[in-house]
């Protein structure tokens, strides 16, 4: 490696400006209403008054926390004083002890590199949720009769199977109570469910969230939701109304996988894994102006009934009879004399705690692009985009008219819906009109589907495009990435990746949003997690899911193939490349967000996993007691053996464990896992790597994994890289890799002298390739490389998802290698800018948001000139490598003379924060 020529500038030479802290977050969330810890962490970013400023750094910070709100402040809980530190994230609260229900306001000010003090930030708030079992005074309540009934209905692809054709479906339960309130100062609603729910107060929803409180390992942990509902309360009479449904707790989950599962309730195959009937727990705390508190709780005084939602299920869909609507049912004065009293449900000792992640909610709407009448009375709408969500229906007709809504990701060649891939998921919604002469609008509440095409039958008259709107629903992770280049195929591919992430980051990282599965598959999650971070802020989303994963870790130490884990199938307990998510995902969250608490929280269980792995394979041969997933959906003739995969991941996880142990101060563990890494790596090389560096397993996946995970000795890497390149060239510059092999494939090529070949694979249009999907009309990433062709239609319908993000892991290469942005240190405290053009791409622009701010690189090749606009986030430095030969210029100056450049050596620079414009002679 060439050494840097150091050129130092005094700070006064840099362009600087006043800075202020912005984007204040507590536990990754903006003004959270219920955090699940009494030791919250604070974060902020720096903003400059001058957008052209460079070297925006923080030298010190001060945090103040007061009780209550800024307009009604209480006593000071914490004043940190001036702390000499550049840290602006994961700052742990160190004030007076906090407890359940505590509310606080906080602000921060900082000192810049010249010692100038900023103004105080705008105030931010947080509140502590209900943390102790004794905090809950409310009872778990349920309907006296669970209302289940059986219906024989065709489920596509299983209509001829009587057992699978019979569904046990339930209507929604409506629950209500009334109460009087006076002198209201503040009202806070805490609610949770075994199932999913929606709450209204005085006829208004308390939130736009869907399917609250989400899915968890119910036998160990149940999440709650908290809202400030003061605005909905009124002096005098008030009412609470809640709608309760089965959800993941009692509804259908992974229905198509139920064969052979252990411990099923007879007659309820595919559902009710956690319990048969849902239950609700609601606690409204009303603070009065005189300081007193009144608590309204769910108990047997509440009344319950059924209503217009005749049946609802996440997989099967929802049926709604508008004629059965109950106007005013969640408002005071409603006549509920015919309703029954609720009953108290017992039997759960699970911990109840605030939900730590982003809510599931509607995030956008997509109008239908076209409507076609396939045959009389059958209308097919095309949204133009595959999504997760529901349809909003607009219709006018007479009372009793029934509109049936079916969903599909693809059409058959004859134009009819292709629903075979849904398997046992019925995915049908129905709406029965009340006959409003002004027209009616409806969308389902407690289900969701994966679809691009919508079929309406029973619609009165002929609908226009406006009859159907796609409502996109998913976990509301803030999206912040961008990719654009001069190849339209790659631009569409990037959009497909983002849309697939949207559809599958739905309370957990699911495999698919449409069929009877929708599980948090761990292999898919670990493959894609780094790519996901480029596109969205997933820190709190993964905080939640990693708790699911560790809650459902097997007692013997392995992590399961999916989490939450509602059931156990024989011979499907653990799998190499899947169970390793328990180590790879926390490591990735630390690397991207600088989060060490996530490591400490799960450290014991990660160690349990690694100890089980060591005992299971004492000779380091690679274990075979595995589910056998392997390199899932690879298409090469030479398959990658399970022991090879297992040993490779064993080594890789040992390396990551050593790094994590070091950062949390577990020095003995760090030494132990470094030793394990060396031992497993040596055994792997002895077993699988020849003296010339070639792999004894002669396929692309084996070579890519060995190189990417650092398992080939340094002096033999060139041989393995050439073998990988040869395998690709001999296959016509086409891939053969599956889920596990595709993620490391392009990075392994680029890191080992074959970046040009990586670019060829990236831009390939022939089967199998990303371009092949785009050329065949994909708007999301497919589960299979050949899920659909324009000539042949839908392929392998029994297992064929058109929204499956695993192969979208290539986004990581698109952003970090082609675009050239990445971290150079954990948490992006140092960043890397190193664009690497490939043949056929003349320009590219990428960006993402780090915890310090936006990082971006926009480059262009024009003849022999290379230009790049680079954005380095505040409070960081960038290690920049440009593909140029000869001197680099920044604006009108030589790079050596440019403000903000800290070091330079030819095409390699170190720069402070700011926006730079580089140019030089392009050198491939």
Cite the active site residues. Answer: 517, 783
SS3 (DSSP) at 313: strand
Phi, psi of 497 (to 5 degrees): -60, -45
* Residues, the chain: 924
SS3 (DSSP) at 706: helix
- Beta bridge mates, 903: 6, 910
CA atoms within 13 A on the CB side of 592: 25
Burial class (CB in 10 A: 0-12, 13-18, 19+), 202: middle
3-state helix, strand, coil in the chain (%, to 5): 25, 35, 40
CA distance 680 to 127: 47
Residue 915, both tokens? 């926006």
Locate tokens 């209480």: which residue? 74
Q: Which secondary-structure segment (H or E) carries 22?
A: strand 19-26
Residue closest to 402 by CA, chosen among 322, 340, 333, 508:
322
Q: Which secondary-structure segment (H or E) carries 484?
A: strand 482-485
> What angle do helix axes 522-535 and 539-551 make, rounded to 10 degrees?
170
CA distance 167 to 162: 10
CA distance 406 to 410: 12
Residue 652, both tokens? 């890789």
Our CA dihedral for 728, 732, 736, 741, rounded to 10 degrees, sits at 30
Residue 213, both tokens? 């409180």
SS3 (DSSP) at 273: coil
Locate tokens 């956690």: which residue? 274
Phi, psi of 877 (to 5 degrees): -125, 155
Locate tokens 């299979």: which residue? 784
CB 580 within 8 A of CB 623: no
CB 252 within 8 A of CB 516: yes
Phi, psi of 154 (to 5 degrees): -70, 130
Phi, psi of 802 (to 5 degrees): -100, 10
Residue closest to 921 by CA, chosen among 856, 851, 867:
867
Locate tokens 């996946």: which residue? 701
Q: Which secondary-structure segment (H or E) carries 474?
A: strand 468-475
SS3 (DSSP) at 769: coil
Could you report how far apart the first and last alpha carbons of the chain are, in Å? 19
H helix and E strand count, the chain: 15, 48
CA distance 111 to 560: 47
**Cα–Cα–Cα angle for 727, 730, 731, rounded to 5 degrees:** 85
Residue 111, both tokens? 């000192």
Q: How many Cβ atoms are within 10 Å of 628's Cβ, its own excluded?
A: 12
Residue 1 DSSP code: -
- Beta bridge mates, 304: 175, 340
Q: Which secondary-structure segment (H or E) carries 222?
A: strand 221-228
SS3 (DSSP) at 283: strand
880-915: b (≥16 Cβ within 10 Å) or e: bebbbeeebbbeeeebbebbbbbbbebbbbbbbbbe
Residue closest to 443 by CA, chosen among 322, 604, 272:
322
CA distance 769 to 660: 35
């Amino acid at each position: 490696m060439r050494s840097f020529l150091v050129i130092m500038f005094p700070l006064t030479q840099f362009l600087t400006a006043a800075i202020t802290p912005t984007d204040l977050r507590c536990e990754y969330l903006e003004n959270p209403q219920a955090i699940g810890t009494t030791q919250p962490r604070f974060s902020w970013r720096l903003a400059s008054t001058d957008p052209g400023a460079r070297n925006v750094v923080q030298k010190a910070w001060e945090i103040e926390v007061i009780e209550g709100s800024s307009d009604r402040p209480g006593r000071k809980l914490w004043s940190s004083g001036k702390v000499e530190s550049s840290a602006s994230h994961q700052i742990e609260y160190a004030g007076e002890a906090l407890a359940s229900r505590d509310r606080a306001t906080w602000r921060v000010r900082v000192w810049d590199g010249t010692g100038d003090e900023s103004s105080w930030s705008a105030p931010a708030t947080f509140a502590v949720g209900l943390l102790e079992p004794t905090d809950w005074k409310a009872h778990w309540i349920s309907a006296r009769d669970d209302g289940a009934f059986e219906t024989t209905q065709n489920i596509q692809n299983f209509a001829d199977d009587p057992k699978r054709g019979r569904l046990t479906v339930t209507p929604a339960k409506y629950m209500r109570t009334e109460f009087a309130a006076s002198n209201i100062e503040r009202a806070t609603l805490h609610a949770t469910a075994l199932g999913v729910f929606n709450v209204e107060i005085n006829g208004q929803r308390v939130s736009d969230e869907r399917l609250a409180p989400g899915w968890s390992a119910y036998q160990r942990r149940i999440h709650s939701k908290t809202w400030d509902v003061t605005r909905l309360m009124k002096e005098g009479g008030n009412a609470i109304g809640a709608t309760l449904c089965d959800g993941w707790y009692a509804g259908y989950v992974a229905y198509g996988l139920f064969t052979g599962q252990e411990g099923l309730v007879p007659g309820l195959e595919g559902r009710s894994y956690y319990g048969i009937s849902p239950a609700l727990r609601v606690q409204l705390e009303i603070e009065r102006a005189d300081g007193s508190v009144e608590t309204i709780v769910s108990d047997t005084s509440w009344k319950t009934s059924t209503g217009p939602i005749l049946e609802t299920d996440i997989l099967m869909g929802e049926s709604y009879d508008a004629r059965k609507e109950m106007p005013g049912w969640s408002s005071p004065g409603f006549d509920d004399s015919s309703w029954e009293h609720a009953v108290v449900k017992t039997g759960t000792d699970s911990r109840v705690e605030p939900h730590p992640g982003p809510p599931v909610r509607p995030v956008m709407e997509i109008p239908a692009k076209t409507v076609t009448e396939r045959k009389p009375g059958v209308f097919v709408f095309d949204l133009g985009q595959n999504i997760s969500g529901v349809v909003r229906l607009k219709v006018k007709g007479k009372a009793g008219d029934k509109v049936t809504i079916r969903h599909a990701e693809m059409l058959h060649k004859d134009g009819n819906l292709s629903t075979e891939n849904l398997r046992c998921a019925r995915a049908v919604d129905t709406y029965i009109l009340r006959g409003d002469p002004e027209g009616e609008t409806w969308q389902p509440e407690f289900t969701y589907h994966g679809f691009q095409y919508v079929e309406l039958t029973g619609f009165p008259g002929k609908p226009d495009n406006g009859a159907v709107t796609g409502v996109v629903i998913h976990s509301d992770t803030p999206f912040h990435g961008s990719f654009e280049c001069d190849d339209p195929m790659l631009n569409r591919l990037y959009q497909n990746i983002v849309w697939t992430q949207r559809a599958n980051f739905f309370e957990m990282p699911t495999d698919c949003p449409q069929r009877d599965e929708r599980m948090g598959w761990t292999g898919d999650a670990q493959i894609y997690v780094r790519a996901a971070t480029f596109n969205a802020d997933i820190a709190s989303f993964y905080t939640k899911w990693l708790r699911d994963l560790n809650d459902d870790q097997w007692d013997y130490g392995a992590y399961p193939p999916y989490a939450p884990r509602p059931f156990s199938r024989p011979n499907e307990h653990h799998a190499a490349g899947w169970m390793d998510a328990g180590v790879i995902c926390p490591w990735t969250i630390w690397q991207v967000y600088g989060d060490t608490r996530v490591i400490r929280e799960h450290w014991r269980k990660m160690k349990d996993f690694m100890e089980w792995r060591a005992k299971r394979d004492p000779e380091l041969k690679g274990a075979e007691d595995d589910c056998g997933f392997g390199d899932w959906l690879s298409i090469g003739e030479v398959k990658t053996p399970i022991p090879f995969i297992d040993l490779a991941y064993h080594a890789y996880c040992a390396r990551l464990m050593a790094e994590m142990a070091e950062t949390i101060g577990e020095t003995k563990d760090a030494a132990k896992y470094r030793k394990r890494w060396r031992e497993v790596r040596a055994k792997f090389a002895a077993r699988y790597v020849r003296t010339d560096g070639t792999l004894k397993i002669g396929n692309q996946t084996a070579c890519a994994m060995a190189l990417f995970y650092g398992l080939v000795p340094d002096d033999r890497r060139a041989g393995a890289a050439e073998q990988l390149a040869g395998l690709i060239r001999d296959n016509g510059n086409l891939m053969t890799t599956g889920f596990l092999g595709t993620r490391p494939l392009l990075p392994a090529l680029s890191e080992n002298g074959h970046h040009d070949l990586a670019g060829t694979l990236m831009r390939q249009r022939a089967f199998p390739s990303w371009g092949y999907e785009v050329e065949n009309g994909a708007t999301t990433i497919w589960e299979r490389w050949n899920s659909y062709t324009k000539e042949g239609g839908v392929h392998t319908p029994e297992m064929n998802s058109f929204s499956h993000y695993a192969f979208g892991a290539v986004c990581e290469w698109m952003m970090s290698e082609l675009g050239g942005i990445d971290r150079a240190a954990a948490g992006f405290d140092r960043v890397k800018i190193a664009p690497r053009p490939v043949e056929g791409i003349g320009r590219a622009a990428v960006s993402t948001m780090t915890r310090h701010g936006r990082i971006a690189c926009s480059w262009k090749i024009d003849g022999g000139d290379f230009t790049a606009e680079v954005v380095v986030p505040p409070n960081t430095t960038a290690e920049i490598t440009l593909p140029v030969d000869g001197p680099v210029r920044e604006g009108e100056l030589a790079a050596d003379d440019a403000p903000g450049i800290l070091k330079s050596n030819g095409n390699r620079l170190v720069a402070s924060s700011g926006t730079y414009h580089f140019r030089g002679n392009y050198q491939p």
